[in-house]
Amino acid sequence: MDYPPLPEAPNSLCPFMAGNESLTPHEVFAIRPKGGAPNSPGWTVRVVPNRFPALRIEGELFPEGVGIYDQINGIGAHEVIIETPDPDQELEDQPLGAITDVLRAYRARIIDLVQDIRFRYIFVFKNVGMLAGASLRHPHSQLIALPIVPRAVEEQIETARAHFELKERSLFADVLQAEIRSGDRLVYENSAFASFCPWASRFAFETWIMPKFPAAHFHTLDDYHLGLLAEALRHVLRRIRKGLQKPAYNLILQTAPFHQARVRELVPAEMEFRWHIEILPRLAQAAGFEYGTGFYINTTFPEEAASFLRRVREET
């Protein structure tokens, strides 16, 4: 079951095509192996501000109360990472070096934006297929910097902090060790990363990729580990694509917040959070039950999903 095709834009109109650099805002980062001027062809990865941003980088933050409510103006950053000049080359089809360069672009932009003290949280996401919210077919990711920390991330940190205070161990390390030891929900692992379908997954075939070492922030990864992450990511995406017949999916890179006043300085950041990638195939639509309760109906046990993905022979 292929996801519904997105409308095709003529090459002359697609803003992400090489040669159409004038159709995007001025780039903020690019990799040009042979050199060249900014906003010119010859790039392999290119990052530009989103032409239709959810948040704008210009201006000051103005939090205010409105009666019993709180609001803040839409200050932040919204960027697009164009992963390849080739509109037909999905991320998992690229050579490992090219995937590593995409991850290098993620790292470079986070390193730059974390210097802005207005921002508290930065995350990267990728929508593939119309059912996952994609509007352009050309392979790309997006990055958003927020002036607040999402509640879902705060809840993860609070849970991990309570776990550490009770057991003096990292919750993320305990989860990963249990997954590797059991192997029932494990999909793939190499020397630095493991991927697994999490316990009580929200979505069928939901798959996480997590480092085996303590790391709260993605941008601290060196080039060697970016290469190993590229290897793990390609393995997982290829198995999902082939095994599930090219489903629409969302990919989310979650990293720890920045510029936070630590509630308990004695709890190391690495104990409170571990950055990770979540891949969420869109095989079913959320409906009234999910929206009304916050619970998800998943018809595939994560053990079954992981076993199925392990058996998929990757395309070469």
Which amino acids are annotated catalytic? Answer: 140
73 burial class (0-12, 13-18, 19+ CB within 10 angstroms)?
middle
> Look-up: residue for tokens 């690019």?
30
- Tell how strand 276-281 and strand 249-254 pair up: antiparallel
Residues 6+ apart with CB under 8 A from 66: none
d(CA 30, CA 118): 24
202 touches 280 (CB < 8 A): yes
d(CA 285, CA 192): 34
Report how far apart, in Å, the C-alpha atoms of 38 and of each of 28, 35, 70, 77, 118 are: 9, 9, 41, 20, 27
Q: 179-217 burial, b for 16+ CB within 10 Å, e for fewer?
A: beeeebbbbbbeebbbbbbbeebebbbbbbbbbbeebbb
